[in-house]
Amino acid sequence: DWKTLNTNQRGELASLTLAVPSEQAALYLLRYLQTEKIHPEQLPEYFRHMVRYLPAEKLSEVIQLAQTQLAANLDLQVEIIKAVLQGYQQKGLRIDAALTDWAARLTQTLLAQQGMQSVQWVNYPAGEENSENPWTLQQRASADGKESAPFFCSLPAGERATGRLISQPFSIPPELSFYLAGHTGFPRQPDNGFNYVQLRRLEDQRVLKRVSAPRNDLAQQVHWDLKEFAGTEGYLEVVDSDSGKAYAWLAIGRFQPEVVSIPRESLQQQVNRWSAAAFLVEAFKLHAAREQIVSLLTQKRLDPKLKNELASAVISLDGTDTFRPLFPLPVPQNPAAGSFQQTVIQAVIAQKQDEVDDLLKHAFKRYPSRLQTALAAEIARQPKGLTRLIAYAEQGVASPQLLAEPAIQNQIQQSADHELRRRAKKLLSALPPREKKTQENIAQHFKSHTSFELSVENGKAVFEKNCAVCHQLAGKGAVVGPQLDGIGNRGLERLLEDVLDPNRAVDINFRTTTVITDAGRIFSGLKRREEGAVVVFVDNKGKEFTIAKNEIDEQQQSPLSLMPANLLEILTPQELHDLLAYLLQSTKKETAGH
């Protein structure tokens, strides 16, 4: 009986109900949240459980509860509306007016809260394109005795985190000073050159001044005499490109004169809220917010990941999916190098689908091999995408070698279009067999392994960065693909085969499934489970995605592994061999294949 329980007992029972997949458990949680004060961190999980198991007529109470209890907590509202949406999808329910109205109000609040002002600072990846923004606000002490002042700092994100923080352009003053803390490698070792601050001239990107991290936790003053450059436009570049395990961070603040400043709120908070608005606009088809999303999208200074999310929202509203293969856009190396990206964005905003073909051809001409492979895979997933890709190969726009990529080759083989298969076969017949090239790579790296100065520690870092999203080793990483404890028992040659030719022998439990939706889109991933009205898959980045059962027209298991077959395009030779050294030292037990 509810009345016989004290507050602690009610809380303990609420925690236990999460393990009970029933309507009664969900009803108890609803009453608990309506009457008790709950720690904010527990709320998203409680809401997910309630929405999954409550009867449909109770969902309006959940929505009202979230809006009233969390009116002042914008970020938590975002988490919970996502949880509620997930629950609707799992139950196979149509999105109703109450949920859509909440999403619309929340979107307007997110956009109004942040405003449409341009941000002073934008983070660009220092290496890996999909790396997270490492810069957070932190109060730090300085060498002049000031005990606390706001700094941008990469340390809270972890020593291995990297990023390039680019300021807005400004008129270069005669003098500029700021305070800098951080490190550039281990003490008593030479400066590794990875962590530094530099001033660039906007016109030609020339580096005018540069200073390395001071190798001190206490912020030191930096003073630049800039009289010879005064009056020209420039910008600051704050670089932490050191992914080392220690002495690998940077902090900057206290600019004088304040040509740039440290914001009062977290840089990432602004990005996250705009990102949440883009998600809601796309998920709920909020056409009334299109103008505001476009206004954000046209800003010249925008977080690269956010730019892709905003564009995706516009594409979804407009129904212009032909643009999707162009995304995610590659990250420009500097603010002046994004002209192609802006051309794509303008075409998306203006709904100029007739320009997609030219944009794709231009992308193939400028993208490196790694990005061409990703672009080709996206094209192939579109309705009639294989026809377009083969035509590009015939025209010399795209390399025929792209058709030999396992995922694309699998789609070609499954196609019912005999003429398409014939054209692809003709193009591929002129190429050296992929197996021969792969065998040559395996033999070359098998022979050269001992010539490298190997680092198990660096190999561990490579594993955590590139492999841990799907594989677990020594308790670290996700269990998407097989666990790798004991993988070293296979020896170097077999390990090279597993890494460089992952589709050679794929365990049936880890083969991908190809899904064709009733809209003609093609998805590929590892099937994990079914949740009510949706099927959950995992992509080759370790991220889950869902497809509604009633949208699946056809699904077929393929002989392919989820593991990418282009590891030599992703890793440098040194990184590959350090990774091998790390894997070879794990000899605890025998493990299964891919």
Banded model confidence at residue 589, pLDDT cuts 50, 70, 90: very low
Which tokens hold the place of 222? 């930096």
Alpha carbon of 192 to those of 213, 253, 333: distances in Å?
A: 10, 23, 21
Banded model confidence at residue 592, pLDDT cuts 50, 70, 90: very low
pLDDT at 472: 92
pLDDT at 358: 96
Q: What is the rounded average pLDDT for all residues in the chain?
A: 89
- Residues 6 or more apart whose Cβ sits within 8 Å of residue 3: none
User: What confidence tens digit (pLDDT) does each residue in 526-584 have?
Assistant: 999 999 999 999 988 888 999 999 999 999 888 788 888 889 989 999 999 999 999 98
pLDDT at 433: 65
pLDDT at 507: 76
Please determine, for residue 30, whether its predicted confidence score (pLDDT) is greater than 90.
Answer: yes
Q: Which range is least confidently modeled, 73-77, 323-327, 343-347?
A: 73-77
Residue of 559, 228, 585 whose CA lies nearest to 413: 559
User: What confidence tens digit (pLDDT) does each residue in 269-316 have?
Assistant: 888 999 999 999 999 999 999 999 999 999 888 888 999 999 999 999
Strands 216-225 and 250-256: unpaired
* Whole-number Å distance between alpha carbons of 306 and 275: 6
* Whole-number Å distance between alpha carbons of 471 and 455: 20
User: What confidence tens digit (pLDDT) does each residue in 98-139 have?
Assistant: 999 999 999 999 998 655 455 789 998 886 666 788 999 999
pLDDT at 423: 96
pLDDT at 594: 45
CB of 260 within 8 A of CB of 120? Answer: yes
Long-range contacts of 342-348 (CB under 8 A, 24+ apart): 342/300, 344/311, 345/297, 345/298, 345/307, 345/311, 347/323, 348/297, 348/311, 348/314, 348/315, 348/318, 348/320, 348/323
Query: Model's pTM, two decimal places?
Result: 0.78
* Higher-pLDDT residue of 209, 265: 209
